[in-house]
Amino acid sequence: MATTYDVVILGAGPGGYVCGIRCGQLGLKTLVVEKAQLGGVCLNVGCIPSKALIHGSKVYYKAKNGGHLGISGDLKVDLSKMVGWKDGIVSKLTAGVGGLFKANGVDHVVATGKLVGPGQVALTKADGSVQIVAALNIVIATGSSPVQIPFLQWSEDVISSTGALALSNVPDRLAVIGGGVIGMELGDVYARLGSKVTVIEAENQLLPMFDKDMVTPLMRKQKTLGVIHLVSTKVTGAEHLDGGGVKLSYEATKAGKSTTGSLEVDKVLVAVGRRPNTADLGLESVGVKIDPRGFIQVNPQLQTGVAGVFAIGDVAGNPMLAHKASKDGEVVAEVIGGHPAINDSVIASVVYTDPEIASVGPTLKELQASGRALRIGKFPMAALGRAMTADATLGFARVVGDAVTGDVLAIHIVGAEASELVNEAALTLEMAAVLEDVGLTVHAHPTMGEALMEAAKAALGEAIHAVNA
Ligand code: NAI
């Protein structure tokens, strides 16, 4: 008699593996099905490897440009070695997930999973053998894949983020199509390592999901690295060159007028978004519906319209972020375990460029458009002793509160360590704090975090280290 699992989870990324561990902790008989290495995009070809190369490229860039700190010398980059260091970190983390499964009594199988009927999952192994398992609950956590531009098929010279994390040499000339999160982070890496980078973005602003003033410091910094930004520009064609490289044609639109141009590069990084992996899962066999963009529709408990079938992480819609997927996974485990839970948490956004960009809550533009009366406090990093001593004075912190209640509605941070400061910002919103809570909390000195305290005080007209508006 085949085992009946309480939960079968398809996919072991930060959504699926966290869900599996929490299910194990709750005493549910759980199987995690993963066709590749544990950890999904995040651990293998996303968040973690990119952060390793971001760090490596910053160490190189800072040392190379440390003349004003009295640091000089001949430096060179061995990218293969840096990539090898990154691979070691990935191996450690993915092995760690396997260890956590064992410790929590979670079963794991290397196979491709497919729904074949209510409560039935087929597992196809690499040798072609197929096994059917029964499940009281099924969690779809299959993640997303890079969107391809039809006339730019993946090749040695046309790469996605996965390829950009495994290059053995720094390309002389790199075109980045898409000035979103991936494009700006990896473009920044290669600009620091010495590539001549051109970013091509269809919208009229890089990182269009952020307020423009949050992106300006990054654009200025990238210009000092020689990065060219082409906004309101679409790539219209591509031609592979004899001997390697690609010639891209593009069309730019400015004030209603179109101009065309072309660009020859050694590598093209295509980063124009990701699409959910919801094809070939047998969803139709149980009646789970997907929307026109391929996402599975879920309610706040991550339930699909079909009893006992859940969807979490990238397949369940935006934001496509690892920490959102993990929270979804925990929520689903609680729901299956009989505990009330929903994912209505504050989800921070972070772009790991130099300077970093991070936020919680709506953009300033969205808040202003809502018509709500606001108190806005902005504090420049340049006014912080810690920022000066870290040689990182670019950026600012902004705290936006409701003018009547003082409730903190959004926190926007640009600067070094913004990715760390944003966790205080998330807690601020989770705890429904008011401006005084942030402004009156004593922040250790000297730290970058003082910018949040000062920005909250500035919203109250009480900043100490800046002239109040
Ligand atoms: P994205 O949605 O962040 O950015 C794609 C950009 O490409 C957009 O600005 C869009 O206007 C532009 N675009 C689309 N088609 C284009 C075209 N034909 N020509 C020029 N520009 C075009 O997508 P991205 O950067 O690929 O990232 C995918 C997902 O991964 C996102 O949901 C992102 O949030 C997530 N991610 C998050 C990270 C983080 O949290 N630090 C890091 C990396 C990825």
Cβ neighbors of 390 (< 8 A, separation 6 or more) are 416, 448
> What pLDDT was estimated at residue 182?
98
For residue 178, the ligand 1 atom closest to its alpha carbon is: 7
Distance from residue 177's CA to the centre of ligand 1 (Å): 9
Q: How is residue 67 written in tokens? A: 């003349």
Secondary structure letter of residue 149 according to DSSP: B
> What pLDDT was estimated at residue 125?
98
Amino acid identity of residue 73, one-letter, is G
Q: How is residue 378 written in tokens? A: 């902005």
Is-catalytic flag, 445?
A: yes
pLDDT one-digit tens code per residue, 342-363: 999 999 999 999 999 999 999 9
Q: How is residue 331 written in tokens? A: 């929520």
At residue 16, φ and ψ (nearest 5 deg) are -65, -45
Q: What angle do CA 332, 40, 424 make, to 5 degrees?
A: 65
pLDDT one-digit tens code per residue, 9-25: 999 999 999 999 999 99
Across the chain, which has 469 residues, the per-10-residue mean pLDDT values are: 88 98 98 98 98 98 97 96 98 97 98 97 97 98 97 97 98 98 98 98 98 98 98 98 97 96 98 97 96 96 97 97 98 97 95 98 98 98 98 98 98 98 98 98 98 98 94
> What pLDDT was estimated at residue 469?
82
Q: How is residue 386 written in tokens? A: 């810690």
Distance from residue 401's CA to the centre of ligand 1 (Å): 29
Domains of the chain: 3-145+275-336 (3.50.50.60), 158-270 (3.50.50.60), 355-459 (3.30.390.30)
Residue pair 283/115 in contact by the 8 Å Cβ criterion: yes
For residue 271, the ligand 1 atom closest to its alpha carbon is: 26
Secondary structure letter of residue 241 according to DSSP: P
The DSSP annotation for 400-453 comes to: EEETTT-BEEEEEEEETTHHHHHHHHHHHHHTT-BHHHHHHSPPPSS-TTHHHH
Beta bridge partners of 380: 396
Distance from residue 78's CA to the centre of ligand 1 (Å): 28
Smallest Cα–Cα separation from 397: which of 467, 456, 461?
Answer: 456
- Which residue among 203, 272, 320 is best mutated to probe the pocket of ligand 1, counting the most ligand atoms within 8 A of its Cβ? 272
What residue's CA is closest to ligand 1, atom 44? 182
d(CA 406, CA 383): 25
User: What is the value of pTM for the model shown?
Assistant: 0.97
> What pLDDT was estimated at residue 3?
81
pLDDT one-digit tens code per residue, 408-444: 999 999 999 999 999 999 999 999 999 999 999 999 9
For residue 352, the ligand 1 atom closest to its alpha carbon is: 41
User: 312: how many CB neighbours lie within 10 A of its CB?
Assistant: 33
β-pairing verdict for 4-10 and 130-140: parallel
Cβ neighbors of 369 (< 8 A, separation 6 or more) are none
At residue 145, φ and ψ (nearest 5 deg) are -130, 155
> What pLDDT was estimated at residue 101?
98
Cβ neighbors of 437 (< 8 A, separation 6 or more) are 408, 428, 431, 456
d(CA 277, CA 274): 9
Pocket of ligand 1 (CB under 6 A): 149, 177-183, 185, 200-203, 208, 234-235, 271-274, 319-321, 350-352
- Which residue among 182, 212, 314 is best mutated to probe the pocket of ligand 1, counting the most ligand atoms within 8 A of its Cβ? 182
What residue's CA is closest to ligand 1, atom 8? 180
> What pLDDT was estimated at residue 175?
98
What residue's CA is closest to ligand 1, atom 41? 351
> What pLDDT was estimated at residue 367?
98
Amino acid identity of residue 268, one-letter, is V
Secondary structure letter of residue 157 according to DSSP: S
Distance from residue 99's CA to the centre of ligand 1 (Å): 33
> What pLDDT was estimated at residue 1?
47
Distance from residue 419's CA to the centre of ligand 1 (Å): 18
Extract the runs of DSSP E, i.e. beta strands, from 141-255.
144-146, 158-159, 173-177, 196-200, 228-230, 233-240, 246-254
